[in-house]
Structure 1
Amino acid sequence: MTESTQVSRSDFDRVMVPNYSPVDMIPVRGAGARVWDQQGREYVDLAGGIAVNALGHAHPALVEALTEQAGKLWHVSNVLTNEPALRLASKLIAATFADKVFFANSGGEANEAAFKLARRRAHDVVGPQKHEIIACTNSFHGRTLFTVSVGGQPKYSEGFGPAIEGISHVPYNDIDALRATISERTCAVVIEPIQGEGGVILASDEYLKAVRQLCDEHDALLIFDEVQTGMGRTGKLFAYMHSGVQPDILTSAKSLGGGFPIAAMLTTDRIARHFGVGTHGSTYGGNPLGCAVAERVLDIVNTSEVLEGVTERNKLLVDGLMAIAADLDVFESVRGRGLLIGAVLSPSWKGQARQIQEAAQREGLLVLQAGPDVVRLAPSLIISTQDIHEALERLRTALSALVG
Structure 2
Amino acid sequence: MNVFKLLFSRLEQTDAGIELEPESADAYAGLSLGERLRCSTASDQVHIVDTAAEAREVAIRLTSTWGQEHRRGAFGIISSGSSRPNAINVPFNDLAALHAAVDAQTVAIILEPIRGSHESLAATRVYFQGVAQLCRELKILLILDETLTGMGRRETLQCEACCGIRADIIVLGGAVEGNRPVAAVLARSTASSHERWDVVAA
Q: Within 5 Å, which residues of 2 pair with 1:33-72? A: 54=1
Provide the C-alpha distance between the structure 2 equivalents of 1:171 and 1:258, rounded to a whole number of angstroms. 38
Match of 1:257 among 160, 177, 186: 177
| Residues in 1 aligned to 2:149 and 2:94: alpha-carbon distance in whole angstroms | 20
Using a 3 Å threshold, how does the CA distance of structure 1 residues 198 and 211 change in structure 2: closer, same or farther? farther
Amino acid at match of 1:212: A
Q: Which residue is equivalent to 1:276?
A: 195
Q: C-alpha separation between the residues in 1 aligned to 2:168 and 2:80?
A: 18
Unaligned runs of 5+ in 2: 6-28
Structure 2: which amino acid aligns with 1:133?
Answer: I
Offset of residue 269 of structure 1: 3.5
Q: Which runs of 5+ in 1 are unaligned?
A: 1-53, 56-60, 62-83, 141-147, 150-163, 287-404
- Aligned counterpart, 1:114: 59
Residue 236 (structure 1) aligned with residue 181 (structure 2): no
User: What is the deviation of 1:101?
Assistant: 0.5
Q: State the alpha-carbon separation in 1 of the partners of residues 195 and 34 from structure 2.
A: 18
Residue aligning to 1:132: 76
Tell whether the 8 Å contact from 1:194 to 1:200 is kept in structure 2 after alignment: yes
**Within 1, Cα distance between the matches of 2:178 and 2:155?**
16
Q: 1:116 to 1:123 in 2, by over 3 A?
A: same
Letter of the 1:276 partner, please give it.
Answer: E
Secondary structure in 2 matching 1:253:
strand
Aligned partner of 1:97: which letter? A
Match of 1:245 among 149, 165, 176: 165
Distance 1:172 1:85 in 2: 41
**Corresponding residue of 1:226:** 146
Residue matched to 1:174? 94
Q: Could you state the TM-score of these two structures normalised by the residue count of structure 2? A: 0.77
1:134 touches 1:190 (CA, 8 Å); kept in 2? yes
Question: d(CA) in 2 for partners of 1:109 and 1:85?
Answer: 26
Give me the whole-angstrom Cα distance separating, in 2, the residues matched to 1:213 and 1:94.
25
Correspondence 1:1-400 to 2 at 5 A: 54=1, 87-128=32-73, 130-137=74-81, 139=82, 148-149=84-85, 164=86, 167-197=87-117, 199-257=119-177, 260-273=180-193, 275-277=194-196, 281=197
Aligned equivalents of 2:179, 2:145: Cα separation in 1: 19
User: Contact 1:231–1:256 (CA<8 Å) still a contact in 2?
Assistant: no
| Alpha-carbon RMSD | 2.5
Task: Tell me if structure 1 keeps the 8 A contact 2:117–2:148.
Answer: no
CA distance in 1, matches of 2:35, 2:97: 38
State whether residues 168 and 189 of structure 2, in contact with CA within 8 Å, keep that contact through their aligned partners in structure 1. Answer: no
Structure with more strand by fraction: 2
Give how far 1:259 is off. 5.4
TM-score by length of 1: 0.40
* Separation in 1, partners of 2:48, 2:148: 16
Q: Secondary structure at the match of 1:184?
A: coil
Identity %: 30
- In the alignment, the residues of structure 1 paired with residue 188 and residue 69 of structure 2 have an alpha-carbon distance, to the nearest angstrom, of 16
**2 CA distance for matches of 1:249 and 1:266?**
5
Note the alpha carbon deviations across 1:291-347, whole angstroms, 9 max, x for none. xxxxxxxxxxxxxxxxxxxxxxxxxxxxxxxxxxxxxxxxxxxxxxxxxxxxxxxxx
- Cα distance in 1 for partners of 2:143, 2:71 equals 19
- In 2, the alpha carbon distance for the partners of 1:188 and 1:85 equals 35
Bigger RCO of structures 1 and 2 (CA < 8 A, at least 6 apart): 2
CA separation of 1:109 and 1:183: change in aligned 2, threshold 3 A: same
Mark the CA change 1:252 to 1:85 in structure 2 (over 3 Å): closer, same or farther: farther
Q: How many residues align?
A: 175
- Aligned equivalent of 1:80: none
